[in-house]
Structure 1
Amino acid sequence: MTGTIIPPTRDVLVDCVRTATAAPSLHNSQPWQFRIRGSRIEVYADPARRLRVLDPDGREQLISLGAALFTLRLAIRRSGHRSDYEVFPDADRPDLVARIRATCPSPVLPAVEALAAAIPHRHTNRWPFARTAVPAAVLDHLRHAAGREGALLASTGPAGRDALLRLARHADQQIQKQPGYREECAHWSGSSSRPDGVPPWAIGPPDAYEMLPIRDFIESAATRPRPSDRFEPNPSVLVLATQNDRRVDWVRAGQALQRVLLTATWHGLATMPISQPIELPSVRRLLIEPTSGLSAQMLLRVGYGRTIGRTPRRPLAEVLLPTGRRTQNYR
């Protein structure tokens, strides 16, 4: 006798979508929309929220969508159900990034509970970290987390780290010269009242050692310069990479990134993605040895840092689409 599979209720799936919106995104743009159809949830890219200057190809938007997809998978698993999913399930609807289906009930393992518990505590930390090395065993856990999602996470020695950070600083300087960059940064920063973007309290100070390229949101918003602070002189920098560089790989990189970030949070680490060298194609190609066949998708700084608050999130009503409604096709 076979048992009847009872799918999660709509209320449970709505709560899973709410959890998924805690995922990271470039400039906290939150470029996603969701639709619930029975036991399925569709994940859409919102073209109106793609950053046209920093992300003309939509790569970082899809990384953000991948992070939301992983968070959604984890939320469904924590609700006591397994799931399966498909990326880009409809070639005629490029804005439909993924479709995930909640399947059979399953006991929630302690590892799932622990990782899910990290979701509300994960945030980007743009402030100085302690001058304490991250243990090798913890770095191994982060690498394993990336591998579980089909990506590779590589740590760097002092020489490799310094070379990567030189490229990152160069990229940051070049990006600031791009037409429209400052206006785009200003649009996504500086306000404490809106439900998206980077609020003033989440913007870190410049590095007094001029080693780490901390995104210059405040000056881009035409306000007074920030005082600098002394960051850790030997930061731990990791490189997240994928075997290929297609749209599906960008989504894969986002899922791996979020699993790594949540694993780091569970270990008590602070994290800060360093995306400037990824945003400049000429620099991105230099981040990994060409003969490796890998494509760099993100640099990540990890360490032990101060506790800061979470950035705001859009109301669920803005991201959860009614059944039957299509996303608008912005050009």
Structure 2
Amino acid sequence: MTVTSVSPTRSVLADCVRSATTAPSLHNSQPWLFRIRGSAVEVYADPGRRLQVLDTDGREQLISVGAAVFTLRLALRRAGYASDAALFPRPDDPDLVAVVTATHSAMVTSGVEALAAAIPRRHTSRWPFARTSVPADVLDHLRDAARWESTVLAEAGPAARDAILHLARSADHLLHARPGYRDEIARWTGGGLRHDGVPGWAVGPGDGLERVPIRNFAELSPLPRPSEKFEPNPTILVLATAGDRRCDWVRAGQALQRVLLAATWKGLAATPISQPVEVPAMRRLLIDPRAGLTVQMVLRIGYGTQAGRTPRRPLSDVLLPLPHASRGRAVM
């Protein structure tokens, strides 16, 4: 166990920001920016990186930024600091999503160590999973992770699972018909020296059973997409919030990352099934309206091989300088 007795240095905060950049994001767009100010880190949504076709209202961008906020909080906790996160603290600056402030030293527990150790290992797997059930105690662990962030995580039963997969496949067809969809996919797909997007090696095959809708990032490639048989009865989880405002989207992102890191800790792989939540009419069908909840994300989880982590933007690309008027202040 570790105890700290001083405020975090700028170097410590920069390392925590570097950890935050490993968070998941739609098409690996990494739509965030950060600024270190004293013992606080400001987290911004980068409007130039929002996907205009898939994410017309910015909901998925704020989920992505929320995932980065949770990772930042966890990295600070692993460095020995408790923190407070204020969401949308300046109404006149809507791109400022959160200010995460280190408040005091805190013991680093074994649970924090285990969850933080999953940060560099977490990644999206678009490959088939083993035909092995996820144990009930592991699912309970993931539900608890979501509950810590004031959200609800539920496993879809057989009938609900089949209905969700059907909605996802239908949504996938509708999304392909949206003007600009193929161009947006092309923008965020490829290899080379880029530090964002989905590289060719991470695309994954199509499902030969035509059951699991894995988004096709290779559809513009001249080569045929490989096909493999995915697990016929995947474990599907639904993440929901009590509201559907911007703060709820950020809260969902924090819960999503906590769940994904807990899943990684337990040896699970995960794939977001985003299509049904990207079509409003279908998103409303994902949960009984009497539940009083709104679905924010659908996940497929299971036991799979390591697929590798997609590239990340360097710290110099995402760390903003202090405004000119603030540069004379001491920065710890």
On whether the aligned pair clears a TM of 0.5, the verdict is yes
**Hey, which bits of structure 1, 4+ residues long, moved more than 3 A?**
none
Tell me, what secondary structure is at the counterpart of 1:119?
coil
Matching residue of 2:225: 226
**Distance verdict in 2 for CA 1:315–1:209, change over 3 Å:** same
Instruction: Return the alpha-carbon distance in structure 1 between the equivalents of residues 21 and 43 of structure 2.
Output: 11
Partner of 1:301: 300
Cα distance in 1, alignment partners of residues 32 and 278 from structure 2? 20
Q: Is 1:195 aligned to residue 212 of structure 2?
A: no
Identity among equivalent pairs (%): 66
Q: Structure 2: how far apart are the matches of 1:167 and 1:225? A: 25
Residue type matched to 1:91 in 2? P
Partner in structure 1 of residue 281 of structure 2: 282
Alignment RMSD = 1.2
Aligned to 1:71: 71
In the alignment, which residue of structure 2 is the partner of 1:129?
129
Q: Which amino acid aligns with 1:120?
A: P
Aligned residues: 322
CA distance in 2, matches of 1:37, 1:170: 46
What are the superposed Cα offsets for residues 221-250 of structure 1, whole Å, 9 maximum, x if unpaired?
343220210000110000000000000000
Could you report, residue by residue, the CA deviation over 1:165-218 in whole angstroms, capped at 9, with x for unpaired residues?
A: 000000001101110000000100122421000000100111001111111111
Task: For 1:52 and 1:267, locate their aligned partners in 2 and report how far apart those are by CA, in whole Å.
Answer: 35
Q: Which residue of 2 aligns with 1:33?
A: 33
Aligned partner of 2:212: which letter?
A: L
Match of residue 313 from structure 2: 314
Q: Partners in 1 of 2:85 and 2:64 — Cα distance?
A: 17
What is the Cα deviation at residue 106 of structure 1? 1.3
Q: What secondary structure is seen at the aligned counterpart in 1 of 2:61?
A: helix
1:292 Cα deviation from its structure 2 partner: 1.1
Q: Which amino acid aligns with 2:270?
A: T
The match for 1:329 is none
| Secondary structure in 1 matching 2:295 | strand
Which whole-Å CA distance do the structure 1 matches of 2:314 and 2:139 have between them?
35
1:23-62 aligned at under 5 Å gives the runs: 23-62=23-62
Contact 1:171/1:280 (<8 A) preserved = yes
- What is the 5 A alignment of 1:1-331? 6-219=6-219, 221-324=220-323
Which deviates more, 102-111 or 9-18? 102-111
One-letter code aligned to 1:190 = G
Alpha-carbon separation, structure 1, partners of 2:239 and 2:192: 31
Q: Cα distance 1:132–1:322, how it changes in 2: closer, same or farther (>3 A)?
A: same
Give structure 1 stretches of 5+ with no counterpart.
327-331
Tell me the TM-score normalised to structure 2 length.
Answer: 0.95
Segments of 5+ residues of structure 2 without an aligned counterpart are 326-332
Range with bigger deviation, 122-131 or 188-197? 188-197
What's the secondary structure of 1:217's corresponding residue?
Answer: coil
Residue 5 of structure 1 deviates from its aligned partner by: 6.2
Residue 192 of structure 1 contacts residue 200 of structure 1 at CA under 8 Å; is this kept in 2?
Answer: no
Q: Which secondary structure state, in structure 2, belongs to the residue aligned with residue 308 of structure 1?
A: coil
- The CA deviation at 1:123 is 0.3
Q: 1:325 to 1:181 in 2, by over 3 A?
A: farther
For residue 22 of structure 2, give the secondary structure of its aligned residue in structure 1.
Answer: coil
Matched letter for residue 164 of structure 2: L
Q: Secondary structure at the match of 1:84?
A: strand
Q: TM-score, normalised by structure 1?
A: 0.96
